[in-house]
Structure 1
Amino acid sequence: MRQRYLALLSVFASLPAVAITFQTRLESIEWKVEGDKFECRLTQPITDFGVGEFVRRAGEQATFRLKASGSMLGSGSATLLAAAAPWQPGRGDINLGSVKMSNGGIPFNSSQGQAGRLMAGLLEGRSPVIRHYSQEGGSAVEVRLLPVRFNKAFSDYQACTAKLLPMNFEQVKQAQIGFPGNGVDLDAPARAKLQVIAEFLKADPTVNHIELDGHSDNSGNRLTNRDMSRRRALAVMDFFKTQGVQEKQITLRFHGERYPLVPNTNAANRARNRRVNIQLERVAPDEPAPVAAASNAAATS
């Protein structure tokens, strides 16, 4: 009997104790929704800690993260839970796996899948919980968000996400317009892709410079190929001009067959090489765009 008692003591002694929980009082819970065409945020302030927030960027699904006003969690890993509420008998916590912690102002970012399950859990009355055990002493710090008043805020958040652009800057800053036919006209898929880019340019005036590089396959002679690559780049430039982009914001180059994506060994490969590469940039107002230099380079390429 004594040995069994000592064994139980040993088990309980090895269990980490929750030393502190950061959680806002029930009557003070609030959810905030903020955003624009580029990003939507759904946040809950956490007393004495910071905030927990869902962040969805244009062109992506949401992630969940903490923003801490101090270094309360430390580095290492933590367990992410969709915890059942005390008033939900028979429900257990859902373990969503571990997250890597850091000492910065944003201790971690969840995966998109984890964030989706946390949102679904909040709609069911569950709480996002981050539980971090220190390696020294076995104590833990727990951060908990509460589902109080979540449904109305979630509806406002959905209204915000419905207005997001189809893509963010990282996704749109480099693109490729193909010319699968052996011509210079933009087909429907090319126009649709260019329209997405144009809408982004209208929404973000800080993106104020476009570089266009025209390419051809090797089906003609050198002069013909260079002219085809020039006309393809001009077709893309003309599209942007119809969307309000000024010509002085565009740098145009054309390279003929000099830079193939794949060897020109068959029809499919040649179709891939007939293209215009697009790169968007933010150029400071006092930094001149290299239009003239690019034109000279094109003329001698």
Structure 2
Amino acid sequence: MRQHYLALLSLFASLPAMALTFQTRLENVEWKVEGDKFECRLSQPIADFGSGEFLRRAGEQATFRLKAYNGSLGGGSATLLAAAAPWQPGRGDINLGAVRAGSGDVLFNSSQAQAGRLFNGLLEGRSPTVRHYSRDGGYSEIRLLPVKFNKAYSDYQLCTAKLLPMNFDQIKQTQVGFPGGGIDLDAAAKAKLMVMLEFIKADPTVNHIELDGHSDNSGNRLSNRDLSRRRGLAVMDFLKANGVPESQIVLRFHGERYPLVPNTSPANRAQNRRVNIHLDRVPVPEKPAPQATAPANAAATS
């Protein structure tokens, strides 16, 4: 009897662990396109799991991410595939490499290159698939289906065409140069400022701008300090002329004190002639509510 029991245990131990697959039924598949000037999202809900989503922020290429209701794949590494459809005989899956699975609402973000290959795969009828192996040898597979993708992809492209040139992380630290040595903004500087202004107008929560003027060490300390001030003023005047309230701008000037690179060549000195611009979102303090005052002839109560 004992030998029979051990043989059964050995048999079950040798069987492969069960695979758990999440995908939406074919007739229920839908793609959703959402977005604005700041980001565009193309997603497919996955039944009993969450969703797979392509996310493209302004100024960047798309990434692919997996979102889960339960917030976990168990950690560790997962494999990202552009899987061939069952109705495509002779075509193998394309392994796009590993992704690091974590916990929380978003389980992972792919690279931009991986997302681009997933897009190509979907257009060819392939399925974005995530395969995650557990410690006990089993694995779960999360699969998106290419049904109705082409129409959704066209809508997504319309959304991305309206994205701003840059996102906040890219634009919050901007540098305007004065390579010619004067105080006038050249065409390159104005073009850079116009991109920044486009973002500020689209996002009214960006309400604080710090300008720091700098010079090289060509003149004496006092003249360099004045040059850095006038360069900062040139940027400030440009922003004001394009609708930025002066109350949102802070101007500082430092002369030659903080060079980017040593002032050892004409090229280096040109780099040091600049205005650094920092954008921020500063909470506006709420005005206290007016205090109610009792009428002068009000009777006292006990």
TM-score (normalised: structure 2): 0.89
Distance in 1 (alpha carbons) for counterparts of 2:102 and 2:247: 45
Alpha-carbon shift at residue 15 of structure 1 (Å) = 8.2
Deviations 1:160-218 (A, max 9, x none): 00000111000000011000001000111111111100000000000101000000111
Distance in 1 (alpha carbons) for counterparts of 2:267 and 2:31: 53
Alpha-carbon shift at residue 103 of structure 1 (Å) = 2.1
Is the contact between residue 29 and residue 44 of structure 1 (CA under 8 Å) also seen in structure 2?
Answer: yes
Distance in 2 (alpha carbons) for counterparts of 1:13 and 1:187: 74
Alignment of 1:200-239 (within 5 A): 200-239=199-238
SS of residue paired to 1:151: helix
Distance in 2 (alpha carbons) for counterparts of 1:176 and 1:31: 40
State the match for 1:28 in structure 2. Answer: 28
**Which is worse superposed, 266-275 or 154-163?**
266-275
Distance in 2 (alpha carbons) for counterparts of 1:201 and 1:253: 21
Q: Percent identity?
A: 77
State the match for 2:74 in structure 1. Answer: 74
Is the contact between residue 18 and residue 142 of structure 1 (CA under 8 Å) also seen in structure 2?
Answer: no
State the match for 1:177 in structure 2. Answer: 176
Matched, 1:121 2:121: yes
Distance in 1 (alpha carbons) for counterparts of 2:22 and 2:13: 24
State the match for 2:39 in structure 1. Answer: 39
Distance in 2 (alpha carbons) for counterparts of 1:15 and 1:23: 25
Distance in 2 (alpha carbons) for counterparts of 1:263 and 1:131: 52
Alpha-carbon shift at residue 73 of structure 1 (Å) = 1.7
SS of residue paired to 2:109: coil
Deviations 1:123-172 (A, max 9, x none): 00000000101012x11111000000000000000000000011100000
**Which is worse superposed, 16-25 or 159-168?**
16-25
Is the contact between residue 16 and residue 133 of structure 1 (CA under 8 Å) also seen in structure 2?
Answer: no
Is the contact between residue 77 and residue 99 of structure 2 (CA under 8 Å) also seen in structure 1?
Answer: yes
User: Of the two, which has the highest radius of gyration?
Assistant: 2
State the match for 1:143 in structure 2. Answer: 142
The aligned amino acid for 1:271 is A
- 1:16/1:116 Cα in 2 relative to 1: closer, same or farther (>3 Å)? farther
State the match for 2:298 in structure 1. Answer: none
**Which is worse superposed, 64-73 or 15-24?**
15-24
Distance in 2 (alpha carbons) for counterparts of 1:128 and 1:15: 28
Unaligned runs of 5+ in 2: 1-9, 287-302
Alpha-carbon shift at residue 14 of structure 1 (Å) = 6.7
SS of residue paired to 1:92: coil
The CA RMSD over aligned residues, in Å, is: 1.6
Is the contact between residue 16 and residue 140 of structure 1 (CA under 8 Å) also seen in structure 2?
Answer: no
Distance in 2 (alpha carbons) for counterparts of 1:233 and 1:225: 12
Distance in 1 (alpha carbons) for counterparts of 2:186 and 2:107: 46
Pairs aligned (count): 276
- 1:133/1:212 Cα in 2 relative to 1: closer, same or farther (>3 Å)? same
State the match for 1:260 in structure 2. Answer: 259
Deviations 1:48-99 (A, max 9, x none): 0011000000011000011100045210001110000011111100000111
Is the contact between residue 126 and residue 146 of structure 1 (CA under 8 Å) also seen in structure 2?
Answer: yes
Is the contact between residue 173 and residue 278 of structure 1 (CA under 8 Å) also seen in structure 2?
Answer: yes
Deviations 1:242-261 (A, max 9, x none): 21100010000011111111
SS of residue paired to 1:102: strand
Distance in 1 (alpha carbons) for counterparts of 2:204 and 2:134: 46
Is the contact between residue 72 and residue 104 of structure 2 (CA under 8 Å) also seen in structure 1?
Answer: no
Alpha-carbon shift at residue 108 of structure 1 (Å) = 0.8
State the match for 1:188 in structure 2. Answer: 187
Distance in 1 (alpha carbons) for counterparts of 2:280 and 2:155: 33
- 1:181/1:15 Cα in 2 relative to 1: closer, same or farther (>3 Å)? farther
State the match for 2:268 in structure 1. Answer: 269
**Which is worse superposed, 264-273 or 27-36?**
264-273
Is the contact between residue 42 and residue 156 of structure 2 (CA under 8 Å) also seen in structure 1?
Answer: yes
Alpha-carbon shift at residue 232 of structure 1 (Å) = 0.4
The aligned amino acid for 2:68 is A
- 1:16/1:96 Cα in 2 relative to 1: closer, same or farther (>3 Å)? farther
Distance in 2 (alpha carbons) for counterparts of 1:73 and 1:271: 52
Distance in 1 (alpha carbons) for counterparts of 2:151 and 2:131: 27
**Which is worse superposed, 36-45 or 213-222?**
213-222
State the match for 1:103 in structure 2. Answer: 103
Distance in 2 (alpha carbons) for counterparts of 1:24 and 1:227: 66
The aligned amino acid for 2:100 is K
